[in-house]
Amino acid sequence: MTAQLLTFYLFSGVILISSLMVISTKNPVHSVLFLILSFLNAAGLFVILHAEFLAMILIIVYVGAVAVLFLFVVMMLDFKTSINKDNILQYIPIGILIGVVFIAELIIVLINTKFDLSNIQVLPNPLSDFTGKSNTEAIGSVLYTDYILYFQLSGVILLVAMIGSIVLTLREREGVKRQVVSEQLKRQGKIDLVDVKSGKGVDI
Amino acid sequence: MISLAQTYFIEVMTIILYCLLIFVPLLLGVVMALYADRKIWAAVQKRRGPNVVGPYGLFQVPADGLKFIFKEIILPDGSDKTVFLIAPIITLALSIAAWAVVPVQAGVVLANINVGILYIFAISSLGVYGILMAGWSSNSKYPFFGALRSAAQMVSYEVSIGFVIITVLLCVGSLNLTEIVMAQKTMWFFIPLFPMFIVFFISALAETNRPPFDLPEAESELVAGYQTEYSGMPFVLFMFGEYINILLMCAMTTILFLGGWLPPIDIYPLNAIPGFVWFLLKVTFVFYLFAMVKAFVPRYRYDQLMRLGWKVFLPLSLFAVVATSSILFFFNLAPGM
């Protein structure tokens, strides 16, 4: 149990520190790298919770795909000119405002809930009985049956987003020669195929 | 704290021992793979290959390694030095970390986790960061272009690798690597899923930046790609990371399609041979294929590479997922149904 606690504090500590670094480093690329570090540690927290499937999906989707694109875009920026130190201070009031709102919400929630730790139950199986099933099986058995509507809806939203971004970026340019592989393969009689004997060579 | 140390000391020590048990054979494997790679390449081109250092040139790779260790580590002036040095370490560490779940024999695996294949997929999708960080932190044009190419290439081919893995998983019904191998007791998956085997093999070549898909380090255009500014030990770390990744992809091909440690036929003289020997033989065979492809296939053009990934492999593997699941469903073959 102690080891679990220690790993929890390790992961959450690294998450906190690296999240702080995300907003405090000068270099945007470093920010993205710290963001990735905090994603990875969040995956570690999932593993402690025995949610290994979620942990792996978090890494594959967020770290392996989304954050790569983040990094791509940020790397292309000419960040040396984009940082203006005078302007950083002007965001502090807004930041404090947002922080106050969050803390107020937290306090409201904590006051209104009867916060008795002994009564709180973390329900591992709110729907059906998952005993004896692995993580992946359990998620699959609920996701494609009870939550099929939400699953399909999110799929449709993603599809719309994908088509939208393709439509926005697609442009036909005039006078560009494109390679049509099937046409190249259809060409006959233009090439001689010669069986070259090993070590003998071929007459040209 | 003392009791904590007592409780976990032995456990931690055994894990470290296991890690060494993975790392040392892997290191030897990389040395042999480098040697084999060069020898096979030479043989195809009617050259001798390394044949001076040691018997049959066997000590060529350790000699090269020694040379690299004694070379100066050059840090480019305009580079981001921390990221520059972390990048090769990340590449190597990630490539070794993936081996933690690879079973070499029934029950012989460091971590027999339920989501083994997802773990490997996740770790190999992280591998792109080492390359991106190296390319960016070098503060030079060639490494940057190499890194961009490499990242785009790896992200593209990961998609089709993912779908190929799903077709295999449909036939197994588990994400555990050991169970994937055991599901092939009657028939290795490369027979019913032959097209997917080919797609996986080619995608594995692209994923590990092997020729003919070594655009990120195309020497005719980009000097050495993202490795251009690296010298000495950091370069060796990249090299080792790359070859460990290649061996990992060979092992994955073996586990997913060639029956892992299972003998070809389950009869007496064949099944008396221990499983890890079969595993090694199969990995060696797949690596031989990798080396042969390197020797006689010319390099792809970059737009052709992208076309192959997105316009050929993606539709093909998507179709295969639908087809496999339909067949399994209609003939009531799906495991766990």
> Min CA distance, A119 vs chain B (Å)?
30
Outline where A127-180 has alpha helix (H). 135-143, 148-169
Looking at chain B, which residue has its C-alpha nearest residue A133? B114
Contact in structure between B151 and B131 (CB atoms under 8 Å): yes
Q: B307 and A181: CB-CB below 8 Å? A: yes
Digit-by-digit pLDDT tens for chain B (337 residues) are: 566 667 778 888 888 888 888 888 888 889 888 898 888 888 888 888 888 887 888 888 888 888 888 888 888 887 888 888 899 999 999 988 888 888 888 777 777 788 888 889 888 888 888 888 888 888 888 888 888 888 888 888 888 899 999 999 888 888 888 888 888 888 888 888 888 899 999 999 988 888 788 877 777 777 777 888 888 888 888 888 889 999 999 999 998 888 888 887 777 777 777 878 888 889 999 999 999 998 888 888 888 888 888 888 999 999 999 998 898 888 877 776 5
Q: B114 and A134: CB-CB below 8 Å? A: yes
Q: What pLDDT does A155 receive?
A: 93
Q: B83 and A63: CB-CB below 8 Å? A: no
Q: What pLDDT does B297 receive?
A: 86
Q: What pLDDT does A129 receive?
A: 63
Q: What pLDDT does A50 receive?
A: 81
Q: What pLDDT does B319 receive?
A: 92
Higher-pLDDT residue of A29, A82: A29
Which residue in A27, A60, A181 is closest to B125 by CB distance?
A: A60
Q: B175 and A136: CB-CB below 8 Å? A: yes
Contact in structure between B232 and B155 (CB atoms under 8 Å): no
Higher-pLDDT residue of B257, A28: B257
Q: What pLDDT does A153 receive?
A: 94
* CA distances in angstroms from A16 to A10, A22, A24, A98, B48, listed in the order given: 10, 10, 12, 18, 57
Cα B61 → chain centroid: 20
Q: Is the pLDDT of residue A164 over 90?
A: yes
Average pLDDT over residues A100-108: 91
What are all long-range contacts of B152-155, with beta carbons under 8 Å and residues at least 24 apart?
B152/B306, B153/B206, B153/B209, B153/B213, B153/B215, B153/B216, B153/B305, B153/B306, B153/B309, B154/B125, B154/B127, B154/B128, B154/B206, B154/B207, B154/B209, B155/A65, B155/A68, B155/B128
Q: Is the pLDDT of residue A82 over 70?
A: no
- One-letter amino acid of B307: R
Q: B114 and A36: CB-CB below 8 Å? A: no
Mutate to test the interface with A, among B12, B47, B115 (most CBs of A within 10 A): B115
